[in-house]
Chains A and B, each alone.
Chain A
């Protein structure tokens, strides 16, 4: 099976940088995905790392180290609208498993 660990909560002020770590244990690893979910909404895809290294998409970046079974999501120039839950996810054999999620609260 798969297991993922990520912090439950992070609080930061507007304009700050937040890093959400994710460690995983899985067999048949293909890549690490990140999803964002605003309160009461549907999860939406943010990024995917299939290879080691950093992927950048605007203010958000994601990193993967396959040898360490570790990745992170970096949120830069935090805005109030970034207050949400963030989930890392890994999968094999058509089963995508999610971590329990990290709630990011952005304060003015």
Chain B
């Protein structure tokens, strides 16, 4: 199994450009999420999805869009890149709600990240 696959690994954008960060998982996980990681601030939730067709906002959703047309894919779109969006982006998935673990659930499985620089 590949697990959670993110592409690209690195990206440089100019201010105002748009792009899509790709995320795919092959574990049949219902829950998928996007985090950004900045120095000294840990991981902050951008958007999440509890299943195909269902998305919701996390802690820092402004400037980002998501959609979930299939169970496997959860792309993150930057509509008009800004230098403040320079960060490392992680996609993560789990069977269900990752905050309450049980024998029917699983913790978050993270992709290897996308390092984005906006100039």
Contacts and interface: CB of A to CB of B under 8 A. Distances in A.
Nearest to A4: B42
A interface, size bucket: 20 to 34
A92 B31 CA distance: 14
A26 to B, nearest CB: 9
Interface stretch (B20-28, B71-79, B94-102): B94-102
A94 B59 contact: no
Interface string B79-119: 00000000000101000011111100001111111000000
Contact of A87 (B43, B48, B50): B43
Interface of A: 1, 8, 30-31, 33, 35, 41-45, 48, 50, 87, 89-92, 94-101
25 contacts: A31-B100, A33-B101, A33-B107, A35-B107, A35-B108, A42-B90, A42-B111, A42-B113, A43-B92, A43-B110, A44-B110, A48-B101, A50-B100, A50-B101, A91-B100, A92-B99, A94-B48, A94-B99, A95-B45, A95-B99, A96-B45, A96-B98, A96-B108, A97-B59, A100-B41
Given A42-B112, A43-B90, A44-B110, 12 more contacts: A1-B59, A45-B108, A89-B99, A91-B98, A94-B31, A94-B48, A94-B56, A95-B99, A99-B42, A100-B41, A100-B42, A101-B42
A91 B107 CA distance: 12
B113 A95 contact: no
Nearest to B91: A42
B53 interface: no
Contacts of B40: 8, 100
A100 B43 CA distance: 7
A43 B90 CA distance: 9
B55 to A, nearest CB: 11
A42 B113 CA distance: 7
Contact of B43 (A1, A30, A43, A94): A43
